[in-house]
Amino acid sequence: MTLSEELRWRGFINQTTLENLTELDTKEWTFYHGFDASSDSQTIGNLAAMMLDLVFLRHGHKAILLAGGATSLIGDPGGKDEERPLQSEETIRYNVAQAEKQLRHIMRGHDFTMVNNIDWYQSMNVIAFLRDIGKHFGMSTLVQRDYIQKRIGEGGGGMSFTEFSYTLLQGYDFLHLFNKYGCTLQLAGADQWGNSLSGIELIRKTHAQQAHVITLPLVINKATGKKFGKSEAGAIWLDEVKTSVYKFYQFWLNIDDEGVIDYLKIYTLLSKADIDALEVKTQAAPQKRAAQKTLAYEVTKLVHSEERVNNVMKVTEVLFGNQPVASLSKQELTDLAAEIPTTHSGESVVKTLLMAGLAGSMSEAGRLIKNGGISLNGQKVTNDEVINTTPSLLKKGKNSFCLIR
RNA sequence: GCUGGGGUAGUGAAGCGGUCAAACACAUCUGACUGUAAAUCAGACGGCUCAGCCUUCGGGGGUUCGAAUCCCUCCCCCAGCACCA
């Protein structure tokens, strides 16, 4: 499959300045893709963007990945209703390091260039910025941009000059990379379309050359119609400290049938033949969840590691399958303890629920028992007994657990 | 600064002197049905030493046998006006 065909099939194209996508198939491109570092970890929303880069890399194109140290210090006004508070340099430096670490991990096995735009902004003075960059931007076109209109128009939240200038910085990033690396293509999220155009315009005005952009669509959860990757508990992070490997795996395993094939296309590098086969299987026997299992395995392997997925899968067997906790080895118990809350024996069920955070108060714990929502090693708990056997598995509902060892 | 309207449990929102731990909706949790799904139905949803008691209705003070409900005061939000520009 050619790159252009693959991009279309995987659903990676939202908007592009390329007249014909097949231009991607006939020559080698150097592209850049910027990642926001306003948070200390990337999310699975950003992961979709990384997958797009991986597809390009696999087709032999050259990647420049940019962790936006400078741009994150300014703050992207796009899609925000209000001015955001500035973050300290120290925080951003840490976030950039995190972003770079995660990008390197996801792209492991591929060659690419990692850059940080603070490197070229740090030494730039304000006069140079205004004269060399600012001069190329007309106020009337800037002011017409939707996100700016929304903010400075009637009922808008207002906007500082700082955020207003953001698009110039991003525009210059592209120009800089064009000059230094011959980069002529930007890949970006759908919300970055306007900013990317700034770069293209800047390159055209300064070098009379045509650069291009491809934006990927925002991944939408078809079942809820909302942005994908936000669970009730918040975003799904790539950092295992923020979203444990177990929770991460579970998130993918619980994807609804409607969306699972789309997500396989975006979040795994499986071939069309493999994904088509899974689609058939899922339609024939949805309760087996073959597609979900593959998705969960592949994504967790990519973002964490093969060893960690296998681990988590074994844990899953104990929690949801029929394997008793007692059947686990010492090492496996330690792994399990890392994924779910763990307490010691000799306490009552109510107290244990409280310690494990499965109930917020004793009243709630008591209620759960009365409702039949608690089971110990597969047996429904009917009154508040003391737990003495170790290891034991205390279960609240179907999805919450506590290990007693 | 003035005038008017507000601040009630996770959210929205009733209540306007006792029957208020506070209607209702949503969110959440549990159970049933299932596929660790969705939908649907049922229950729960401040705390505790749990047929009882304790702490809550922006903060503090007061009136009253009794206050989320009345009065005083302070803080905060919204709308309009004024001041400023």
* Mean pLDDT computed over A287-301: 92
Q: Please tell me whether any atom of strand B lies within 7 Å of the Cβ of A259.
A: no
Shortest CA to C1' contact from A350: nucleotide: B48
Top pLDDT among A8 and A144 is at A8
Strand B: which of residues 185-224 in chain A lie with Cβ below 7 A? Answer: 223
pLDDT of residue A224: 55
Looking at per-residue pLDDT, the higher value among A207 and A242 belongs to A207
Query: What percent of chain A has pLDDT above 70?
Result: 93
The model's pTM: 0.80
Distance (Å) from CA A256 to C1' B37? 6
Identify the pLDDT of residue A245: 85
Cβ of A287 near strand B (distance < 7 A): yes
Q: What average pLDDT does this structure show over A365-372?
A: 89
Measure, in angstroms, how far nucleotide B70 C1' is from residue A110 CA: 75
Nucleotide nearest to A366 (CA to C1'): B50
Distance CA A393, CA A377 (A): 5
pLDDT digits (tens, 9 = 90+) for A250-289: 888 888 887 888 899 999 999 999 999 999 998 888 888 8
In 3D, which of A270, A328, A217 has the Cα closest to residue A55? A270
**pLDDT tens, A66-113?**
998 888 888 877 666 667 768 888 899 999 999 999 999 999 999 999
Give me the mean pLDDT over the A194-206 stretch.
91
Alpha helices by DSSP H, listed for A344-387, are 349-356, 362-370
Determine if strand B comes within 7 Å of the CB of A256.
Answer: yes
- What are the tens digits of pLDDT across the range A16-39? 999 889 999 999 999 999 998 888
A14 in Cβ contact with A167 (< 8 Å) = no
The pLDDT, as a whole number, for residue A232 is 43
**What pLDDT sits at residue A271?**
93
- Nearest C-alpha neighbor of A47 from the set A227, A238, A214: A238
Nucleic acid strand B: bases within 7 A of protein CB: 27-32, 34-38, 43-50
DSSP tag of A348: B
Q: Strands A30-35 and A230-231: what pairing?
A: unpaired
Range of lowest pLDDT (A19-33, A144-158, A177-191, A369-383)? A144-158
- What is the per-residue pLDDT for A68? 85
CA of A200 to C1' of B83 (A): 48
The Cα–Cα gap between A212 and A337 comes to: 49
Residue A259 dihedral angles phi and psi, to the nearest 5°: -95, -15
Task: For residue A364, say whether its CB is under 7 Å from any atom of strand B.
Answer: yes
Summarize pLDDT for A146-168 with one digit per residue, the tens: 777 777 765 556 778 888 888 89
What integer is the mean pLDDT of A230-242? 70
Name A275's Cβ contacts closer than 8 Å, sequence gap at least 6.
Answer: A261, A264, A265, A268
Q: What is the pLDDT of residues A312-336, one digit of tens each?
A: 888 888 888 878 888 888 888 887 8
Dump strand ranges (E) for A251-382.
342-343, 374-376, 379-380
| pLDDT tens digits for range A104-136 | 999 999 999 999 999 999 888 889 999 989 999
| Cβ of A379 near strand B (distance < 7 A) | no
pLDDT value, residue A80: 65
